[in-house]
């Protein structure tokens, strides 16, 4: 799916406050709460004048086709960048567009959007220049925020073999943003809400995108998951040593992902021809707790890695 498939809607502009013209500068306008409230009233009056009954219809209920899971960054307003109107997009945002099994907020948003609103698409959208991802890649102390960033830090360490080969700092950070978005796509797909919906035959696609602050456009990561059998496509991209350009890989020098007749996934490590079975369609099981290192030996996953893998299977 690409952005051209999204429905075109009229631009919803916000009237400017008299004496406070808009500017192309990134510096925020110095608006007081009273100014912002006045803008709201002006916008509401303009909408009602141009489209009588608009808010009366809005009050009757919502039936969006999209759930947006994105970053809380103020420069990425979902409805604005997609050109969608009120009522067309259900939104959940947090720092670095993360989906954790311990976060009841995001799990509740997913459940409500899938089970009640019956959305057709879940858009997991990261953005280049993400402060949360940059913080996770650094060794600086960020206080309480470091607890939230821990899974991203672990993903960063997991992808170190790939990222270390990228010499340009900006390119390396952008690649990490893409990996983090893919991780959230995988996590969404493993939620009970999605698994149950797919089991019942409900059509829901999970899509991974990344927004560019530099251009205002969205990059399609070429990842769409519409069934449990497709989750392994994302999981394979998150394996150590696999680059972001390997979307939907079939074979690799170091590792291949094969589907067995019984529906389970077999992970084949070509360097040692070592086969490890995974616990179910697209799900990482105990057989993956040990991974091959660069010398062909084995290392045990850290306790935190093993716990995170276990948590990811249980929500």
Short-list 103, 80, 83, 105, CA closest to 92: 105
Q: Which of 130, 189, 190, 230 is catalytic?
A: 130
Percent of the chain at pLDDT exceeding 90: 65
Condensed to tens digits (0 to 9), the pLDDT of residues 83-103 reads: 999 999 999 999 999 999 999
pLDDT at 247: 56
Annotated binding site for Zn(2+): 71, 73, 127, 130
130 a catalytic residue: yes
Percent of the chain at pLDDT exceeding 70: 69
The answer to whether residues 258 and 233 touch, using CB atoms and an 8 Å cutoff, is no
Q: What is the dihedral of CA 123, 86, 64, 78, to 10 degrees?
A: 0
75 a catalytic residue: yes
- Does CATH place domain 61-243 in 3.40.50.1820? no
Q: Which of 41, 75, 260, 299 is catalytic?
A: 75
Q: Is residue 279 scored above 50 in pLDDT?
A: no
Q: How many C-beta atoms surround the C-beta of residue 189 within 10 A? A: 26
Q: Which of 92, 127, 189, 230 is catalytic?
A: 127
Q: Is residue 65 scored above 90 in pLDDT?
A: yes
Helix (H, G, I), strand (E, B) or coil at 168: coil
Q: State the burial class of residue 208 (Cβ atoms within 10 Å of its Cβ: 0-12, 13-18, 19+).
A: buried
Q: Kindly give the pairing relationship between strand 121-127 and strand 66-71.
A: parallel
The answer to whether residues 124 and 184 touch, using CB atoms and an 8 Å cutoff, is yes
- pTM check: above 0.85: no
Domain parsing of the chain, residue ranges: 61-243, 250-315
Short-list 153, 152, 179, 311, CA closest to 234: 179
Short-list 91, 87, 65, CA closest to 78: 91
Lowest mean per-residue pLDDT among 6-20, 124-138, 183-197, 274-288 = 274-288
Annotated binding site: 71, 73, 127, 130
285/262: higher pLDDT: 262
Condensed to tens digits (0 to 9), the pLDDT of residues 7-17 reads: 444 444 444 54
pLDDT at 15: 44
pLDDT at 243: 85
Q: Is residue 110 scored above 50 in pLDDT?
A: yes
103 a catalytic residue: no
The arithmetic mean of pLDDT across residues 295-307, rounded, is: 45
73 a catalytic residue: yes
């Amino acid at each position: 799916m690409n952005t051209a498939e999204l429905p075109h809607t009229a631009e919803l502009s916000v009237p400017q406050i008299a004496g406070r013209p808009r500017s192309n500068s990134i510096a925020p306008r110095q608006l007081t709460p009273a100014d912002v409230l006045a803008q709201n009233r002006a916008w509401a009056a303009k909408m009602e004048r141009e489209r009588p009954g608009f808010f009366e219809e809005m009050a009757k209920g919502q039936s969006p086709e999209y759930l947006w899971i994105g970053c809380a960054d103020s420069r990425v307003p979902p409805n604005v960048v997609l050109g969608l109107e009120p009522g067309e997009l259900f939104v959940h945002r947090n720092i670095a567009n993360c989906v954790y099994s311990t976060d009841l907020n995001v799990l509740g948003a997913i459940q409500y959007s899938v089970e009640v609103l019956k959305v057709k698409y879940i858009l997991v959208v990261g953005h280049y220049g993400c402060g949360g991802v940059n913080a996770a890649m650094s060794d600086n102390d960020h206080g309480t925020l470091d607890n939230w960033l821990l899974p991203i830090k672990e993903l960063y360490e997991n992808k170190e073999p790939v990222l270390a080969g990228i010499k340009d700092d900006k390119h390396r950070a952008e690649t990490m943003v893409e990996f983090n978005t893919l991780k959230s796509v995988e996590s969404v797909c493993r939620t009970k809400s999605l698994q149950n919906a797919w089991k019942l035959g409900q059509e829901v696609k999970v899509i991974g995108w990344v927004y560019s602050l530099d251009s205002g456009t969205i990059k399609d990561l070429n990842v769409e998951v519409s069934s449990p059998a497709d989750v392994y496509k994302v999981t394979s991209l998150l394996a150590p040593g696999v680059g972001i350009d390997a979307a939907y890989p079939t074979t690799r020098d170091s590792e291949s992902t094969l589907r067995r007749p019984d529906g389970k996934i077999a992970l084949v490590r070509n360097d040692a021809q070592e086969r490890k079975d995974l616990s179910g369609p697209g799900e990482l099981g105990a057989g993956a707790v040990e991974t091959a290192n660069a010398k062909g030996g084995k290392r045990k996953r850290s306790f935190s890695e093993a716990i995170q893998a276990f948590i990811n299977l249980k929500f």
